[in-house]
Amino acid sequence: MKRCLYRAEWLGEEKESAAFFGSGGLSVSLKEAMVRLHVDYLSLFAAGKQLFLYYEYLAEPATPEQMLPEAGQQLAAWPGGEPGRRWAPLADIFHYQRPVSAEHWKRRNTAGKPYGRLAMLKPEAAASYIYYHYQYQEERPGDGDKYGIIGLHENVLFFYAEQPDTREPAPYEGKLKTSLRPDNWAEVMEPHFVKWEGSPAGQELWKNMELLLEVRSLSGKRGVRHA
Q: What is the reported pLDDT for 56?
A: 96
Task: For residue 105, give the H/E element and its range.
Answer: helix 102-105
Between CA 37 and CA 214 the distance in angstroms is 17
Nearest to 57 by CA among 215, 201, 227: 215
Mean pLDDT for 163-185 is 97
Split at pLDDT 50, 70, 90, the class of 218 is: low
Q: What is the reported pLDDT for 220?
A: 43
Cβ neighbours for 13, distance < 8 A, ≥ 6 positions apart = none
Handedness of CA 74, 75, 77, 83 (dihedral sign): negative
Among 40-49, 81-90, 113-122, the least confident range = 81-90
Domains of the chain (ranges; CATH) run 2-226 (3.30.70)
Between CA 224 and CA 227 the distance in angstroms is 10
pTM over 0.85: yes
Nearest to 5 by CA among 61, 67, 52, 59: 52
Q: What is the reported pLDDT for 48?
A: 95
Task: Check whether 170 has a pLDDT greater than 80.
Answer: yes
Q: What is the reported pLDDT for 113?
A: 95
Q: What is the reported pLDDT for 151?
A: 98
Nearest to 214 by CA among 144, 139, 163, 143: 163
Split at pLDDT 50, 70, 90, the class of 221 is: very low
Task: Check whether 162 has a pLDDT greater than 60.
Answer: yes
